[in-house]
Amino acid sequence: MNDHEAIDLLRAMVRTPSVSGDEAALAALLVGAMRRAGLNAAVDDAGNAVGATSGDPLRSEPDKADIVLLGHMDTVPGVVLVREEDGRLFGRGAVDAKGPLAAFVAAAARAEMPEGVRLVVIGAVEEETPTSRGARAARDRYAPAACIIGEPSGGDGVTIGYKGRLVVRYALERSSAHTAGPAPSAADEAFGWWQAVLEGCRALCPADASPFESLQANIRSLATNHNGLADRVEIVAGFRLPPGVEPGSVEGICTRCAREGIVEFVGRERAVVADRGSSVVRALSAGVRSLGLRPRLLLKTGTSDMNVVAPVWRCPIAAYGPGDSSLDHTPNEHIEIDAIVRSIRVLSHALPALAGELSGVPA
């Protein structure tokens, strides 16, 4: 797969809507593209598009060491007009994370692996939701020797850490009362709950903690309803958890502060920080240097599928990909086409070196 074919693939991917839960069309497109590029490819039972340089892509090969390139196909909602302007491709998912996934496919198609090592490219479903269904399916199917997560890192960045996550839903319903009465409304109670939660969370981190080491909390949605007989309020809030803060600690605070309210939790993920001296980090950093650039090691305040797979696979791991992550989920989402080409160069340098280290055969 040459550069022009890789860019055409990305264009087709961006033109194919793939909001979380509706990725089937993109999965079919990717499987076809990977097969034409010489990879063995199929869609697994979770809906992931999977391609491998040899063997059955849907299972581990007992005589092969797998390097898994784990990207994701899904996007958040919102239509961004697909267009090209001044060397930039606009469209939902261009940065997060179809650009990195297209680079994975191109680099895998070009790679020559030593005997005993293969590449497995995975376009996962539902990364943008708390379910992370695609990554969980892959986590239970493979036991790779190394992994690269496909997320935007600026092309010269190598991401070694992501904060953890917790999503809470608080709901309260009570009989209606006159607003002139002394009783607080359901909304008043919910507001008090949130303030108490914030106060409790402040004790979990130092006041002067860095952004990566601090606990972030925000309300994602708030809804109230009054039908004449009862008042109901619902809050959905999200937490970004630093290393050392367990999801259970925040769950305990939310539950203790709830009183009459009902709380439910999803998206429990611990923070993850990879070894900065691992074979994956070294290979990617060398790939960046091969372009005359200085690699940057990054710690991200969001989450990724690294949070899901790293604690189980326990292999060398890092995230890499083209694109400016500040454009994720925005109405101005776009990626520089040249950045795709550069990232493929980095991966094409890094993957043979990584495979050579795993096999004992220098690249």
Active-site annotation holds for 324:
no
| Cα 333 from chain centroid (whole Å) | 16
d(CA 189, CA 259): 9
Secondary structure (3-state) at 15? helix
* 225 three-class SS: strand
DSSP lists the bridge partners of residue 162 as 272, 300
Cα separation of 121 and 150, whole Å? 10
- Given 44, 74, 234, 328, which residue is catalytic? 74
Comparing C-alpha atoms, which of 347, 362, 360, 361 is closest to residue 119?
347
Region for residue 340 given its phi and psi (left: phi exceeds 0; alpha: psi -120 to 50; beta: otherwise): alpha
Are the CB atoms for 159 and 196 separated by under 8 Å?
Answer: no
Cα separation, 111 vs 359, in Å, equals: 15
Residue 264: active-site member: no
Q: Which two tokens stand for residue 339?
A: 């950045």
Six token digits for residue 197: 């939660």
DSSP strand pairing (117-124 vs 83-85) = unpaired
Q: Which of 126, 127, 189, 328 is catalytic?
A: 127
Burial 189-198 (b: 16+ CB within 10 A, else e): bbeebbebbe
Q: Which residue in 2, 10, 3, 1 sits closest to 100, CA to CA?
A: 10
List the catalytic residues.
Answer: 74, 127
